[in-house]
Amino acid sequence: MTYVAGVFGTGVPEEVVRLLVRVCSRYTCALGTSSPGGVPNVVPIGYVRFFEGRLLLADFYFTKTRENILRNPRVAVTCWDPETFEGYQLKGRASVDTGRYYEVVAEDFRDKPWKPRAAVVIDVEEVYTVKPGEYGRRVM
């Protein structure tokens, strides 16, 4: 089950946050990273949360993803609705946090049997639509 907590006022357009909340509560999104040498890595993500203007992800099993973020912080998150084909790609810089942002993420899993190892904190810099007919249009 995918979990999303969203709040507005993040700088990310409201329609993007609404789509992430609606879609990621039912489907899985994707996180793309790259090694410093340009080797791509894409993993499924099942939790996103907007907090204090940043996009937070839960790190449960990231190994290569964590290595990539630590060495090359440029990332992309893509989420789309397979029924309407509406979707967005968010690009920005990521960091791995085991402090304050981790505590925010961990609180959402307080009553769950699984616990995240860290939070991935993304400062979203750009947002593009991935909807057919509008693909690549910058919305932020």
Name the residue ranges covered by the structural domains of the chain: 3-129
Question: Is the separation of the CB atoms in 113 and 99 below 8 Å?
Answer: no
The residue ranking higher by pLDDT, 106 or 50, is: 106
Closest CA to 63 of 43, 77, 47, 90: 43
Superfamily, domain 3-129: Electron Transport, Fmn-binding Protein; Chain A (2.30.110.10)
User: pTM of this prediction?
Assistant: 0.90
| Stretch 81-103: mean pLDDT | 96
Which residue in this structure is represented by tokens 């990231």? 62
The tens digit of pLDDT for each residue in 45-90 reads 988 888 888 999 999 999 999 999 999 999 999 999 999 999 999 9
Q: Are 42 and 29 in contact (CB under 8 A)?
A: no
